[in-house]
Amino acid sequence: MSDKKVRISELLQQMTLTEKIGQMSQLSGNYGKVSEELAAKIRRGQVGSVINEVSLDVINEIQRIAVTESRLGIPLLIGRDVIHGFKTIFPIPLGQAASWNPTLIQHAAHISAVEAASCGINWTFSPMVDISRDPRWGRVAEGFGEDPYLCSELAIAMMQGYQQDNFNGLGAIASCAKHFVGYGASESGRDYCTTNIPESELRNTYMPPFKKLADAGIASFMSSFSDLNGIPASGNEWLLKDILRKEWGYQGFVVSDWESIAQLQIHGLTENDKESAYEAANAGVDMEMVSNTYEKHLRELITENRLSIQQIDSAVSRILSLKHDLGLFDSAYTKQSDYPALANGHHLKLAKDIVLESCVLLENKRQVLPLSLDSLNSVAVIGPLADDGYEQLGTWIFDGDPDYSVTCLDAIKNEVGDSIKINYVKGLQNTRDCSQDEFHSAKEAVLSSDVAIVVLGEESILSGEAHCRADIGLPGAQEALIKTLSSCGRPIILVVMAGRPLTLESILPDIDALLYCWHPGTMGGPAIADLLFGKHSPSGKLPITFPRKIGQIPIYYSQKHSGKPATEDSFIHMNDIPQRAEQTSLGMSATHLDTHFSPLYPFGYGLSYGEFEYRDITTNKQQVRIGEGIEITATVTNTGQLAAVEISQLYIRDLVGNITRPIKELKGFQRNFLQPGETRKLCFSIHTKDLAFYNRKMKLTTEPGLFHVWIGGCSTTKLQAEFEVVK
């Protein structure tokens, strides 16, 4: 038996039931002080974890109480939502996903962990791997987008950055896969709402990132708030016991989301807190976050033989195992001098690097970008987000400090120096402002300038948990501001900071370039300035589809083909001269009558200052046997005038399946830097196991048959080959 197992076994033998239930209880901190109630509970062994305490002095003190004044000296897990940075704030996770760069994401998570650990935190509730295809959902900002493959690759990188080779590096902290499972499919994009997802869709779309993280050794899982097919996840025995434990063999522990166990009663699953505690504990939730149903009712449930002591011991052993892996039994205290300074130069440089790779160039008419300093005498900078260091940080930045932020305005001033005049007008007080009082001043500034850089979007409060929107257009009077500025006859460069895709179709005729920057974090300004003035070429690609109109939602690249797929003549031009439209059922297709069936911008899309041409797709074999691999190659050439990075993407389609398959599925991607005129050979390798899916009997299988395969710079690429899988 290993030393860890011996230590845990010995502790379990010594622990009273009260102390065991204590390990299963997470309490909220008191935000900078140690309350007598919390201290007393820790002394009695009634606390396993504390959440939302970031004062190092307080954390060291509660660890001291736990280690030296409780009977068994068991240290505490200290949890915090370190989602996309601690003091150094990186782009929101959806923005990071646009980089398609696992290495950078791992580095950012490592820095986040080190900064958090220097303040005593040892557990973060990240990464969020909820697949979401509804940008109305506020928490779309917190995930990696719509695709299971991309999400899995980036989530593993983030986990590795936090956990650092099984907690062997300085500042390693435990990470948590959330929210298990289906939370991103909440009805109407409203947080906490019901999700109804067929099992085949759960297994093929929503579960894969969680399975990959479980296999990769993530420390913990978090059960979702949401009702999944009639059974809320925090009381869902099939989900937590049958799938996670038995089928996947996951050994880490499961924590509830904030008060989600007590909320089982509100859902209508249980009659009272006692029944909520039973359902959650029996389903397999090891630790209760903040609410106290376990503390109040587990003892009674064991006395009644509804729960067994073996169930309790299993939960406690998993919690103690993580504390052992983190080294807390050997050293529970934090010495800040062991760590680098918060928001130091290295951290800020990495923050800038990831913004450079996460911004997505969506429009660049007549190659108005990059801007040339030699051809400019004056630049107008307009917009409420142009000089707001707080709003550019985005959601989930409780510990972020806007004093570290460098804004677009500051960075542009630094870039152009004294030789070019900057005409700055805020235009709107915030992104929700409907007043047009400053429009005249903004228009005068643009008329006095050679070009206008307009920084608009969403304030940070408009996305994130519980911040869902029914209308995802530019809020307030922003569209009116754009149209006013467009009338000036100057090039309009629109820079958007937002926590989600926005519906922007109506303003596209009024702008010349569109750089989508998400909420970019601390170093958003300098990176955006480098992109605008050509020091760096945009290389980001969309991790989520942008709809033309809200009515298209959900819209995503890997939809099913349907029996009547849409065609170019599948909609009615609503503004045509009125004439009778004869009734017919012929030629109807799966689309909306009043908009084109395509998205505004598809998954995987993004322009750069280079131009890329793909050719010569081939496979190294026409047939591949199940259990073998195949190589798909193509060439990509930078036919443009400027060097740039291109993210090349591999997609497949299984033409016939036991259940209908998506029209395209991402199966690989590569980042390549190409000089003008340079050609690169691309080679992707896939195994037949990568083609497997859960069939109608919920069996993971690769079926023989014909497959199409594409390589290109976007999900709409047409460069196609095919191969056949045979037994």
Higher pLDDT pick, 605 / 577: 605
652 domain-assigned: yes
pLDDT of residue 591: 86
pLDDT of residue 577: 63
Domain ends where: 265, 296, 325?
325
**Shared domain check, 425 and 373:** yes
23 domain-assigned: yes
First to last CA, the chain: 44
Q: What is the pLDDT of residues 19-71, one digit of tens each?
A: 999 999 999 998 889 999 999 999 999 999 999 999 999 999 999 999 999 99
pLDDT of residue 586: 60
As a dihedral over the C-alpha atoms of residue 16, residue 21, residue 25, residue 30, rounded to 10 degrees, the angle is -40
- Residue 711, domain CATH: 2.60.40.10
257 flagged as catalytic: yes
d(CA 152, CA 367): 35
**Shared domain check, 413 and 361:** yes
pLDDT of residue 282: 98
Q: What is the pLDDT of residues 419-478, one digit of tens each?
A: 899 999 999 999 999 999 999 999 999 999 999 999 999 999 999 999 999 999 999 999
Residue 78, pLDDT above cutoff 70: yes
The neighbour count for residue 464, using CB atoms within 10 Å, is 23
d(CA 477, CA 483): 10
**Shared domain check, 501 and 381:** yes
The pairing of strands 644-654 and 705-712 is: antiparallel
d(CA 156, CA 126): 11
pTM: 0.98
Domain ends where: 507, 532, 557?
532
Of residues 715, 668, 696, 698, the one with CA closest to residue 100: 668
**Shared domain check, 471 and 513:** yes
**Position 99 confidence tier, pLDDT thresholds 50, 70, 90:** very high
pLDDT of residue 30: 86
Q: What is the DSSP string of 623-656?
A: EEETT-EEEEEEEEEE-SSS-EEEEEEEEEEESS
- Residue 519, domain CATH: 3.40.50.1700
d(CA 5, CA 625): 44
Is there a contact between 416 and 458 (Cβ–Cβ < 8 Å)? no
**Shared domain check, 318 and 399:** no
Of residues 423, 540, 577, 395, the one with CA closest to residue 485: 423
Print the domain residue range for 26: 1-79+314-325
Give me the mean pLDDT over the 681-708 stretch: 98
Provide, rounded to the nearest whole percent, the portion of the chain with pLDDT above 70: 98
Residue 294, pLDDT above cutoff 80: yes
186: amino acid identity, one letter? S
700: amino acid identity, one letter? L
DSSP code for 255: E
444 domain-assigned: yes
558 domain-assigned: no
pLDDT of residue 176: 99
Of residues 37, 30, 34, the one with CA closest to residue 52: 30
**Shared domain check, 425 and 484:** yes
**Shared domain check, 382 and 522:** yes
**Shared domain check, 362 and 395:** yes
Residue 147, pLDDT above cutoff 70: yes
550 domain-assigned: no
pLDDT of residue 321: 98
d(CA 566, CA 182): 28
Q: What is the pLDDT of residues 644-667, one digit of tens each?
A: 999 999 999 999 999 999 999 999
pLDDT of residue 715: 98
**Shared domain check, 511 and 379:** yes
36 domain-assigned: yes
pLDDT of residue 568: 76
Is there a contact between 571 and 596 (Cβ–Cβ < 8 Å)? yes
Give me the mean pLDDT over the 509-533 stretch: 98
Q: Quick one: three-class SS letters along 78-123?
A: EEECCCCECCCECCCHHHHHCCCCHHHHHHHHHHHHHHHHCCCCCE
**Position 567 confidence tier, pLDDT thresholds 50, 70, 90:** confident
Residue 573, pLDDT above cutoff 70: no
Phi-psi region of 405 (alpha: psi -120 to 50; beta: other; left: phi over 0): beta
Average pLDDT of every residue of the chain: 96
**Shared domain check, 619 and 502:** no
Q: Give the 3-state secondary structure of residue 342.
A: coil
Q: Which of 130, 147, 227, 257 is catalytic?
A: 257
φ, ψ of residue 519 to 5 degrees: the values are -100, 110
Q: Give the 3-state secondary structure of residue 335.
A: coil
Map tokens 């503004």 to a residue.
Answer: 575
pLDDT of residue 31: 84
pLDDT of residue 571: 58
Q: Give the 3-state secondary structure of residue 177.
A: strand
Q: What is the pLDDT of residues 336-383, one digit of tens each?
A: 999 999 999 999 999 999 999 999 999 999 999 999 999 999 999 999
SS3 content of the chain, % helix, strand, coil (to 5): 35, 20, 45
d(CA 147, CA 216): 19
pLDDT of residue 517: 99
**Shared domain check, 642 and 521:** no
**Shared domain check, 447 and 354:** yes
340 domain-assigned: no
* Longest CA–CA separation in the chain, Å: 85
Residue 404, pLDDT above cutoff 90: yes
pLDDT of residue 572: 59
Domain ends where: 532, 567, 587?
532
As a dihedral over the C-alpha atoms of residue 566, residue 572, residue 573, residue 574, rounded to 10 degrees, the angle is -130
pLDDT of residue 381: 98
Q: What is the DSSP string of 432-462?
A: T----TTHHHHHHHHHTSSEEEEEEE--GGG
- CA-to-CA separations, 236 to 225, 249, 317, 495, 513, in angstroms, rounded: 11, 17, 21, 44, 48
Map tokens 């009043």 to a residue.
Answer: 594
- Strands (DSSP E) found in 579-697: 612-619, 623-625, 629-638, 644-654, 665-674, 679-687, 693-694
Give me the mean pLDDT over the 158-168 stretch: 96
Is there a contact between 624 and 663 (Cβ–Cβ < 8 Å)? no
Total count of domains within the chain: 3
Q: What is the pLDDT of residues 579-623, one digit of tens each?
A: 776 777 666 788 888 899 999 999 999 999 999 999 999 999 999
553 domain-assigned: no
